[in-house]
Amino acid sequence: MGSNQTWITEVILLGFQVDPKLDVFLFGFFWLSYSLTLVENGLILGLIWLDSRLHTPMYFFLSNLAIIDMSFASSIVPKMLANLIMQMKTISFAPCVLQTFLYLALAATECMSLIVMSYDRYVAICHPLHYAVIMSWRVCTILAVTCWTFSFLLALVHITLVLRLPFCGPQKNNHFLCQILSVLKLACADTRLNQIVLFVASVFVLVRPLCLVLVSYWRILFAILRIQSGEGRRKAFSTCSSHLCVVGLFFGSTIVMYLAPKSSYSQEQRKILSLFYSLFNPMLNPLIYSLRNTEVMGALRRFLGKKSSL
């Protein structure tokens, strides 16, 4: 390393390349979206906790997803909001690396959790007589803990490889967060190993799980068509279509981000994709599940009924 190179201690987050006059509008819009994310997911958690009818494996995994979504948004949005109203849009290097770690870990946790949720629906619809045995509370707990543990260990591998690099600039990060692809551009060394490990991990965590999810739902579709009861078919299809909406939104945006050729999308388009699955996706998930789920809506009506009777 040359003598004219110095280690960076903070990073400038350039954010969105828009007119500074729009910062107030963006602050209000993102603050509202973040608030809705916390309220919606918090409401889902509260309803599942309070209503004994929702104490089933399906809603256990749904509450796990709500925790992931709130954590995911909270690891990114507060700093983004602060930078929108501050003149110096900086973040110290250590918190920047921490944000990268949480971003990777929570994204992977959501991927793994969506696989588990699809497996739960597969067992419930294709093997209903054995559902209580296969998806026991012990199994559900092990699956949830495995998702979190595996994902955080995988993120730790990436961060370890990142920290071995010398970071001497440029100091400017053309993003609104410390996303790993943008952080690697700050290194003044060869990052090919990091890129290769990230690509392999993306295939393992995104493409392979997505294939498993699609196979599961393909088999579920055939099982639904064999259900004799029209009401049973409607309920099963409604639940599974909600899951598929969430799967499509999350996996679609992340696969484009990490596996699409770099020349296919501009940096600004990639920022929008990052914003989508780090803020808008966590905000949309509860709406997709609650609006299409009669049991959740029923729990909400019972809760509001109790409140009004007090």
Tell me what the mean pLDDT of segment 146-165 comes to. Answer: 94
Beta-strand (E) ranges in 30-109?
A: 90-92
Question: Would 278 be classed as within a structural domain?
Answer: yes
For residue range 188-219, list pLDDT tens digits in order. 888 899 999 998 888 888 888 888 888 888 88
Q: Give the model confidence (pLDDT) of 171-182 as tens digits.
A: 788 888 888 888
Does any domain span residue 2?
Answer: no
**Model-level pTM?**
0.86
Query: Could you tell me if residue 5 is inside a domain?
Result: no
In a domain, residue 1? The reply is no
What tens digit of pLDDT does each residue of 212-261 get? 888 888 888 877 777 666 666 666 666 677 777 777 777 777 777 777 66
Sign of the Cα torsion 285, 290, 294, 296 reads positive
In a domain, 208, yes or no: yes
**Cα-atom radius of gyration of the chain, to the nearest Å?**
21
* Mean residue pLDDT across the chain: 83
**Cis peptide before 166, with omega less than 30 degrees from 0?**
no
Identify the domain containing residue 126 by its residue range: 10-309
| Cβ–Cβ under 8 Å, residues 113 and 68 | yes
Q: What is the CATH number of the domain that holds 287?
A: 1.20.1070.10
State the alpha helices, DSSP H only, in 226-293: 230-259, 267-275, 281-291
| 302 inside domain | yes
Q: How many domains does the chain have?
A: 1
Structural domain includes residue 219? yes
The mean pLDDT value for 141-151 works out to 96
